Chain A
């Protein structure tokens, strides 16, 4: 009788606070977010796990996701190019060229819209797209999943990442999204300049980088942000080196007459507006703009200096548009470029955790 009492109480305690039954429990993954960055908002239905990230890395470099097993995400998002493509237009498996330049995958976890026209609003949704796109990897998810399912290693990896058996496109997209969220760049010279300018404490390692920043780089930064200099900071700004918006930066419409944002909104006020890209690792991501029209940074600088094309939707923050641009002299152009090179983050490009695991 006495025992019954204790047993009841024990049972009660046990039942009361019991957790739901789970299968394999994946290990939470702690993102290494630079101290001067805002938080990354992770969707609640796709928490970061070590197993998910690792699976995502395998899938990012997995050629089985393409119709003829010849292409993976990295074909057009190459690590050595800060996950962009050195070709002006990327060519899909059937040899068909797209009409937009591939985008560098940097700090994607802070983005709220994807593609040059912002046509997708989550990474998970965005990732489903290149696989089935006929001018990219051109494979149905059904087939891709079948191919993965034949591989025991993948069956195990999916089980560990999601705590249950079965492979599908949603899980694949979630895992790739997790991997892409780890592609964080925040260790360039610019980061040290940013922290210094905002009176944030520098670590010992940053102190030593600080010593290497020369007067020309500082002068270039001044030109970058000054109104009577290059006037760039309105759109390329903050720790992420971009602002969240669509903007027409005065490019002449191209042969495809790509309307950009207006494709998504059908609003003529959005004609020729494109997503403002980050300038991080910009030295590594040539060619430039949504159609890769500029082969190098000198051409980009020339555009903003004297090549502005006025139109009714041009951004008012291209403030000297009506005089063709900001009119930099040779010395200013040289210094501006010196500053743009401070945005290169070699730790990011060489990070072994981002490389092909196959």
Chain B
């Protein structure tokens, strides 16, 4: 009898053993970083793609694309994320979303651009969900040795004083190559509570400051194009350093 009972117990145990557990796992904490591009002197108003703004010189200007990579995001020895791709048109204001504990990231360091080892790896070999995978990078990878475009700002401007505001001039700034990778280091960050399991950090991308930086302003009339090619160093340098100064915690 005892044998039979123990057999039944073993039987019951085995039958249930391959069932899934329905224990609730500990709630994951999510961290999201948003970037809010602005274009007003002082930088209080959000910039929308395709909307027309006016430069201090009185030209009409509109932005059609704002994208950039960050990589090796960490606080000293604590890693947050390998890379992120901000694409204003595709994903709106979200720069990254990942699991993590905000108390560990009161400070945040990383690169604007892609770490040089990652920058020269096979862009098809990253995991499918990685922003560095060529499927997600798309036009942000050059397709040959320079690797990724770290920062891409495109738009149109009316620099011809013909009285017609038809925004008939394009500008495009494509900065890449290891030499132009820049770093950032933000301190005393204010992670806003969205819910018990979610915190958010807002960064500001001040495009007014980017174009009209008081000591190194970009004159769209003559400085409208760089692909980081040889011969374009002065503008390339100016664009990436202005960009670096324009990205700050909100």
| Interface members, chain B 1-48 (any A CB < 8 Å) | 3-4, 6-8, 10-18
Instruction: Determine if B122 and A36 form an interchain contact, defined as CB atoms under 8 angstroms apart.
Output: yes
Q: Measured between alpha carbons, how far is A35 from B15 in the docked complex, in Å?
A: 44
Q: Measured between alpha carbons, how far is A310 from B124 in the docked complex, in Å?
A: 35
Q: Name A's B-contacting residues (CB within 8 A).
A: 1-2, 4-5, 8-9, 11-13, 15-17, 35-39, 41, 110, 194, 197-200, 225-227, 233-235, 237-239, 243-245, 269, 310, 312, 314, 316-319, 321-322
Nearest chain B CB to A311 CB, angstrom units = 9
Point out the residues of chain A lying under 8 angstroms from B10, CB to CB.
8-9, 12
Q: Which residue of B lies closest to A7 (CB)?
A: B7
Instruction: Determine if A38 and B133 form an interchain contact, defined as CB atoms under 8 angstroms apart.
Output: yes
Q: Measured between alpha carbons, how far is A310 from B168 in the docked complex, in Å?
A: 8
Point out the residues of chain B lying under 8 angstroms from A316, CB to CB.
64-65, 154-156, 170-172
Point out the residues of chain A lying under 8 angstroms from B64, CB to CB.
316
Other-chain contact of A16, B14, B134, B144, B170 (Cβ < 8 Å) = B14
Q: Which residue of A lies closest to B126 (CB)?
A: A38
Interchain residue pairs with CB less than 8 A apart (17): A2-B3, A8-B8, A12-B14, A17-B18, A194-B143, A198-B143, A199-B120, A199-B145, A235-B139, A237-B139, A237-B141, A238-B134, A238-B137, A239-B143, A243-B139, A269-B50, A316-B154
Instruction: Determine if B128 and A41 form an interchain contact, defined as CB atoms under 8 angstroms apart.
Output: yes
Q: Which residue of B lies closest to A227 (CB)?
A: B227
Q: Measured between alpha carbons, how far is A130 from B196 in the docked complex, in Å?
A: 50
Q: Measured between alpha carbons, how far is A9 from B64 in the docked complex, in Å?
A: 68
Q: Measured between alpha carbons, how far is A161 from B89 in the docked complex, in Å?
A: 40
Instruction: Determine if A1 and B4 form an interchain contact, defined as CB atoms under 8 angstroms apart.
Output: yes
Q: Measured between alpha carbons, how far is A59 from B138 in the docked complex, in Å?
A: 33
Q: Measured between alpha carbons, how far is A1 from B4 in the docked complex, in Å?
A: 7
Nearest chain B CB to A233 CB, angstrom units = 6
Chain B 150-164 per-residue mask, 1 if CB under 8 angstroms from chain A, else 0: 000011100000000
- Name which of A310, A314, A317, A321 has the most chain B CB atoms within 10 A of its CB: A317
Assuming A5-B4, A36-B124, A200-B122, is B170 touching A318 (CB within 8 A)? yes
Q: Measured between alpha carbons, how far is A200 from B106 in the docked complex, in Å?
A: 40
Point out the residues of chain B lying under 8 angstroms from A227, CB to CB.
225, 227, 229
Point out the residues of chain B lying under 8 angstroms from A200, CB to CB.
122
Other-chain contact of A239, B3, B50, B134 (Cβ < 8 Å) = B134
Does residue B166 face the partner (Cβ distance < 8 Å to A)? Answer: yes
Q: Measured between alpha carbons, how far is A312 from B65 in the docked complex, in Å?
A: 15
Instruction: Determine if A37 and B124 form an interchain contact, defined as CB atoms under 8 angstroms apart.
Output: yes
Total inter-chain residue pairs, C-beta < 8 Å: 115
Does residue B193 face the partner (Cβ distance < 8 Å to A)? Answer: no
Instruction: Determine if A225 and B144 form an interchain contact, defined as CB atoms under 8 angstroms apart.
Output: yes
Instruction: Determine if B11 and A11 form an interchain contact, defined as CB atoms under 8 angstroms apart.
Output: yes
Does residue B221 face the partner (Cβ distance < 8 Å to A)? Answer: no
Point out the residues of chain A lying under 8 angstroms from B156, CB to CB.
316
Instruction: Determine if B170 and A9 form an interchain contact, defined as CB atoms under 8 angstroms apart.
Output: no
Instruction: Determine if A239 and B14 form an interchain contact, defined as CB atoms under 8 angstroms apart.
Output: no
Count of residues in B whose CB is under 8 Å from the partner chain = 46
Nearest chain B CB to A64 CB, angstrom units = 36
Q: Name B's A-contacting residues (CB within 8 A).
A: 3-4, 6-8, 10-18, 50, 64-65, 120, 122-124, 128, 133-135, 137-139, 141-145, 154-156, 166-172, 225, 227, 229
Q: Measured between alpha carbons, how far is A314 from B170 in the docked complex, in Å?
A: 9
Known: A237-B142, A316-B156. 9 other contacts (CB 8 A): A8-B10, A9-B14, A12-B13, A38-B128, A38-B133, A234-B139, A235-B139, A316-B171, A319-B170
Point out the residues of chain B lying under 8 angstroms from A197, CB to CB.
143-145
Point out the residues of chain B lying under 8 angstroms from A110, CB to CB.
135
Instruction: Determine if B15 and A12 form an interchain contact, defined as CB atoms under 8 angstroms apart.
Output: yes
Q: Measured between alpha carbons, how far is A233 from B143 in the docked complex, in Å?
A: 8
Point out the residues of chain A lying under 8 angstroms from B16, CB to CB.
16
Q: Measured between alpha carbons, how far is A17 from B11 in the docked complex, in Å?
A: 13
Assuming A38-B128, A41-B128, A238-B138, is B11 touching A8 (CB within 8 A)? yes
Point out the residues of chain B lying under 8 angstroms from A317, CB to CB.
154, 170, 172
Point out the residues of chain A lying under 8 angstroms from B154, CB to CB.
316-317
Instruction: Determine if B15 and A15 form an interchain contact, defined as CB atoms under 8 angstroms apart.
Output: yes
- Name which of B6, B7, B141, B142 has the most chain A CB atoms within 10 A of its CB: B7
Nearest chain B CB to A262 CB, angstrom units = 13
Assuming A17-B18, A321-B170, is B128 touching A39 (CB within 8 A)? yes
Q: Which residue of A lies closest to B120 (CB)?
A: A199
- Name which of B12, B64, B139 has the most chain A CB atoms within 10 A of its CB: B139
Other-chain contact of B3, A5, A39, A198, A238 (Cβ < 8 Å) = A5
Q: Which residue of B lies closest to A200 (CB)?
A: B122
Instruction: Determine if A243 and B138 form an interchain contact, defined as CB atoms under 8 angstroms apart.
Output: yes
7 smallest A-B Cβ distances: which pairs? A12-B14, A316-B170, A197-B144, A243-B139, A12-B11, A5-B7, A8-B7
